[in-house]
Amino acid sequence: MDGAQDGQTLADHGEFAVIGAITQAIREARAPGEDVLVGPGDDAAVLRVRTGHVVVSSDLLVEDRHFRRAWTSAYDVGRRAAAQNLADIAAMGGTATWLTVGLAAPGDTPVEWVRDLARGLAEEAALVGADVVGGDLTQSGEIMIAVTVMGACAQAPVLRDGARAGDVVALAGRQGWSAAGLAVLSRGFRSPRTVVEAHRRPEPPYAAGPEAARAGATAMIDVSDGLLADLGHVATASGVAIDIDSTVFEIPEPLHAVGAALGADPLAFILTGGEDHSLVACFENAADVPDGWLRIGRVVAGSGVTVDGEPRSEAGGWTHF
């Protein structure tokens, strides 16, 4: 950052200089796309909207509620903040195009931390060809990051309420890794490194959302709060029941290792863990399920979510309150 010294804080540097540093970091991470007519630096962004359905989602990350600086670098917080929003657009069958970011932080926050955050946001967005086009900065007692993402669906968006009895349920992306990483970090450990890194920086299957939409998915959701919990949202919205076949899951060795070390059932990480931002969708026929998706269950008449035909006591997943 031009003119900045190592160790400077937001209060040392001042609001407008920090905004300039954030804008510079974003531009260095990715040159604006051709549909960004006016990017960060004016009163509002100006964007070219093409044909299709515009989809918008917002999410908020609060320090010590959604992340801890002792566990996660600023760069990874930025990647994670972008990922959870980009995954929401993918879950509608769309592709993200633009993000705006609101940041509230204490005055003693290092400028370098904020610049790394901006770089992480921009580089995660770049994975789907999206741009960070604006935002806001203010002071607060703790770090809060509010991201709004906009995108487009080439076809009708896939909602939660379209599942019907007889549909096949399928999963795209890794599931349970972030929960295992959180369990490890919560006990003061840093290994297995693979699950710790999965918690710090999720890897949503962005392309799988539009792929499922083109294949005729009847319902879809981003698994942010837990597989059973989020499937519960689909079941409720669609007025159906969903039964999961636990035998189809091949539990990876790192999840086995964490379960053994902590005395936990590794299958629980998969069924109730969130924040991997995998996608789960329903399809009318098994033949409609795209390659790379794992068929994990069926939609049936009734209500609620079961595993192997039985309710599971720890189906709750993450809740904010």
CATH number, domain of 29, equals 3.30.1330.10
Domain residue limits at 14: 10-153
Annotate 246-276 with b (16+ C-beta within 10 A) or e (fewer). Answer: eeebeebebbebbbeeeeeebbbbbbbbbbb
User: CA 51 to CA 260: how far, in whole Å?
Assistant: 52
Q: Is residue 110 part of a domain?
A: yes
Whether 222 has a binding-site annotation, put simply, is: yes
CB atoms within 10 A of CB 159: 18
CB atoms within 10 A of CB 112: 17
User: Does residue 174 sit in the same domain as residue 126?
Assistant: no
Cα 31 from Cα 12, distance rounded (Å): 29
Within this chain, do residues 189 and 96 fall inside the same structural domain, yes or no? no
Q: For residue 36, tell me if it sits in a domain.
A: yes
238 is in an annotated binding site: no
176-234 pLDDT, tens per residue? 999 999 999 999 999 899 999 999 999 999 999 999 999 999 999 999 999 999 999 99
Q: Binding residue per annotation — 136?
A: yes
Please check whether residue 162 lies inside any domain of the structure.
no
pTM for the model: 0.86
pLDDT at position 271? 97
**What pairs with residue 61 in β-bridges?**
145
The answer to whether 43 is annotated as binding is yes
- Please state, rounded to an integer, the average pLDDT across all residues of the chain: 91
Amino acid 100: pLDDT:
96
CA distance 61 to 93: 24
pLDDT confidence tier of residue 1, bands split at 50, 70 and 90: very low
Whether 147 and 250 map to the same domain: the answer is no
Shared-domain flag, residues 48 and 182: no
Residues 228 and 174 reside in one and the same domain: yes
Total domain count for the chain? Answer: 2
Task: Write the CB contacts of 193 (distance below 8 Å, at least 6 apart in sequence).
Answer: none
Query: Is 178 known as a binding-site position?
Result: no
Do 177 and 82 belong together in one domain?
no
Q: How far apart are CA 37 and CA 21, in angstroms?
A: 21
Instruction: Give me the amino acid identity at 255.
Output: L
Domain at 188, CATH number: 3.90.650.10
Tell whether 52 and 140 lie within a shared domain: yes
pLDDT at 253: 97
For residue 318, say whether it is annotated as part of any ligand binding site: yes
The verdict on 273 and 182 lying in the same domain is yes
Domain boundary among 95, 121, 153: 153
pLDDT value at residue 8:
83
3 domain-assigned = no
Look at residue 18 and tell me whether its pLDDT is greater than 90. no
Residue 132 lies in a domain: yes
Question: What's CA 260's distance to the chain center, in Å?
Answer: 28
308 is known to lie in a ligand binding site? no
Determine whether the annotation assigns residue 246 to a binding site: no
66 marked as binding residue: yes
Looking at the fold, whether 143 and 200 belong to one and the same domain comes out as no
pLDDT digits over 65-95, tens only?
A: 899 999 999 999 999 999 999 999 999 999 9
Q: Are residues 205 and 121 in the same domain?
A: no
